[in-house]
Amino acid sequence: MWLAATCQPGHHPCLAGHEFYESLVFFLINSGEVPIIGTSDHTDAMADTMGPVDGSGSNRIDMVTPGKIQGQRLSELLRYLIEQKTILSVQLQGTGYERLTYILDMTETATESHLIIDLPEGFNNVAHRVSPWQLGFNFNGPDKLEYLFSVRGGELHDQGVRIPCPKYIERIQRRKNFRIMTPAGTRMVITTPSLKGLMDLINISLGGAYGTMAKHNLKNAREPFLKVGKRIDKLGIIFPQDNEMPEQIIVIKEAQVRRIDHDMTNNRYKYAFEFMDIESDQLAKLTQTIYHIQRQFLTRR
């Protein structure tokens, strides 16, 4: 197998560190082979990576009105959170428990509505301490402001945790003091018929990524190298190794450029991508990696 090849005298020179993996990703995304390099079992935390990620949220749901979001706008917002796999912080009152999760599904009938959320790590160990549950949630909306809601009750479900839909979600008129970013050295490889590029990622979610072009092959061209709406096949994302997780390589089957921002101060462009298609095993791997990164963030916080 190609991955098992080693460098020997007289053959291609060995590449060290990220250069090796960047070349590996270029090879894999052109050949169609998906790498199996490092896995992570860290699935116990996730934080919100919304903001300038997929570039589509603020145009789809009106978030201008402050205060309580309810009625039809509440249903639209909850559907948006499901579609975008937005990450929420959940707290179980009376236990000191706080983890991160996302909404898997919403069920609605004439008399009641429920949410199914992904089972947070360790929830089973504390859920029996209080009854009924008082659960608080918060997340960053597409306008990068904080949103809060709470529910009473719930039960374990075969897909996760089943809870009542909130009566309303409150939009807070202040910005978060922090924005979740990818670890330094997180890269994304892009290949089109004309462009071979390497991006430094700024942030990422299960739905998209945001970053700047670090290297490319278009020496005499000017940015932006991509246009809004451009679809790109097979992007390779490289997460650097840390003291708990080995280096991760994840392949996105298809992505689309949703927004391009011009950083006038540094005279560079920032590109927002939405992930349009990703294989289930790669999505699971991305989910695990994001869980790990956000667990580290919560630990540092």
Higher-pLDDT residue of 279 and 9 is: 279
Q: For residue 51, is it within any domain?
A: no
H or E, element range at 202: strand 196-204
Are both 222 and 160 inside the same structural domain? no
| pLDDT band (50, 70, 90) for residue 255 | very high
Question: What does the pLDDT look like over 232-242, one tens digit per residue?
Answer: 999 999 999 98
Q: For residue 157, is it within any domain?
A: yes
Residue % of the chain over a pLDDT of 90: 41
CA-nearest of 225, 240, 234 to 270 is: 225
Q: For residue 264, is it within any domain?
A: yes
Q: For residue 272, is it within any domain?
A: yes
Task: State which of 120, 149, 175 marks the end of a domain.
Answer: 175
Are both 148 and 196 inside the same structural domain? no
Note the maximum CA span of the chain. 74
φ and ψ of 33, to 5 deg: -85, 135
Task: State which of 140, 175, 210 marks the end of a domain.
Answer: 175
What is the average pLDDT score of the chain?
A: 77
Are both 63 and 162 inside the same structural domain? yes
| pLDDT band (50, 70, 90) for residue 43 | very low
Distances (CA, A) of 290 to 14, 34, 63, 156: 30, 19, 26, 24
CATH number of the structural domain spanning residue 203: 2.40.10.220
CATH number of the structural domain spanning residue 83: 2.30.110.10
CB 117 within 8 A of CB 151: no
Are both 292 and 267 inside the same structural domain? yes
Query: What's the pLDDT at 41?
Result: 30
CB 45 within 8 A of CB 100: yes
Question: What does the pLDDT look like over 169-228, one tens digit per residue?
Answer: 998 765 443 446 789 999 999 999 989 999 999 888 888 999 999 988 888 778 899 999
Task: State which of 146, 175, 204 marks the end of a domain.
Answer: 175
Residues 6+ away with beta carbon under 8 Å from 267 = none
- pTM as predicted: 0.50
Are both 214 and 144 inside the same structural domain? no
Q: For residue 162, is it within any domain?
A: yes
- In angstroms, the CA 101 to CA 90 distance is 7
Query: Tokens 């949630």 sit at which residue?
Result: 137
β partners of residue 53: none
Strands 97-108, 87-92: pairing is: antiparallel
Are both 120 and 229 inside the same structural domain? no
Are both 205 and 159 inside the same structural domain? no
Instruction: Please say if the pLDDT value at position 60 is more than 60.
Output: no
Are both 185 and 295 inside the same structural domain? yes
Query: What's the pLDDT at 169?
Result: 94
Other Cβ atoms less than 10 A from the Cβ of 39: the count is: 12
Residues 6+ away with beta carbon under 8 Å from 266 = none
Q: What angle do CA 192, 194, 197 make, to 5 degrees?
A: 65
Are both 62 and 31 inside the same structural domain? no
Are both 41 and 185 inside the same structural domain? yes
Specify the number of domains making up the chain.
2
H or E, element range at 5: none
Are both 226 and 135 inside the same structural domain? no
Are both 290 and 201 inside the same structural domain? yes
Question: What does the pLDDT look like over 83-121, one tens digit per residue?
Answer: 988 888 899 988 888 888 899 999 988 888 999 999 988
Which domain, by its residues, includes 88? 57-175
Please give the structure tokens belonging to residue 197.
Answer: 């590029």
Q: For residue 117, is it within any domain?
A: yes
- In angstroms, the CA 71 to CA 113 distance is 12
Question: What does the pLDDT look like over 24-37, one tens digit per residue?
Answer: 555 544 544 433 33
